[in-house]
């Protein structure tokens, strides 16, 4: 690798992704009638808040040398690249969270989209972990990857349950 992202860049992108996840899970919780699925989405929303706060704390306590650019970047291209990656994420600005995303008509669809979001998060964080030089940042991102994988497992379990009882998984997306 020719350069490494600094920890500040990684955590800024991660904060944005966690905010996008929080917005989706909050809307999804309001949309479902099944109390178990609603509780799952509420729990995941709370975890997104906790992740965001954790990243914000780490970022605020981070020594300035870990926030400095690792290469000369006068045009802020690295920052633009990281933000573009975060925005291309499943729950980025194009997800139209004010209404139902175009491909979400059922709870199964919402669960599948949430699983895709979590998988995309894992891929994004693994890429950022690989491109980060600092040991602590790599370790923190590694822990988050494990957390996101646990979200995939939880969502997958509920998807199997919902697939078995579609009537109990009615969806009424807010604003749709």
Percent of the chain scored above 90 by pLDDT? 12
Q: Is 50 helix (H, G, I), strand (E, B) or coil?
A: helix
Is the pLDDT at 97 greater than 60, yes or no? no
Q: Residue ranges of the alpha helices (H) in the chain?
A: 7-31, 35-61, 77-87, 107-130, 135-164
pLDDT of 66: 63
Question: Residue 14: CB partners within 8 Å, gap ≥ 6?
Answer: 51, 55, 125, 128, 141, 144
- Under CATH, what is the fold of the domain 7-169? Ferritin (1.20.1260)
> What does the domain layout of the chain look like in residue ranges?
7-169
In tens, the pLDDT along 40-90 reads: 999 999 999 998 898 888 778 877 766 666 666 677 676 677 667 666 665
Q: Is 32 helix (H, G, I), strand (E, B) or coil?
A: strand
Is the pLDDT at 137 greater than 80, yes or no? no
Is the pLDDT at 117 greater than 70, yes or no? yes
What is the phi/psi pair of residue 5, to 5°?
-70, 150
Q: Determine the Cα–Cα distance for residues 156 and 113; give it in Å rounded to an integer.
A: 11
Report field, pTM of the whole predicted structure over 0.85:
no
pLDDT of 155: 92
């Amino acid at each position: 690798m020719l350069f490494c992202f600094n920890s500040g860049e990684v955590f800024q992108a991660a904060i944005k992704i966690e905010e996008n996840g929080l917005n989706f899970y909050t809307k999804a919780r309001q949309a479902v009638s099944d109390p178990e699925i609603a509780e799952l989405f509420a729990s995941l929303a709370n975890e997104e808040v906790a992740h965001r706060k954790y990243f914000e704390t780490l970022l605020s306590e981070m020594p300035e040398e870990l926030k400095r650019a690792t290469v000369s970047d006068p045009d802020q291209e690295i920052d633009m690249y990281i933000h573009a990656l975060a925005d291309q994420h499943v729950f980025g600005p194009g997800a139209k969270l004010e209404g139902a995303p175009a491909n979400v008509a059922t709870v199964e669809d919402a669960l599948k989209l949430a699983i895709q979001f979590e998988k995309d998060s894992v891929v994004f964080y693994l890429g950022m972990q690989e491109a980060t030089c600092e040991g602590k940042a790599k370790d923190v991102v590694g822990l988050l990857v494990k957390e996101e994988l646990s979200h995939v497992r939880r969502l997958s379990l509920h998807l199997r349950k919902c697939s078995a009882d579609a009537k109990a998984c009615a969806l009424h997306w807010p604003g749709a």
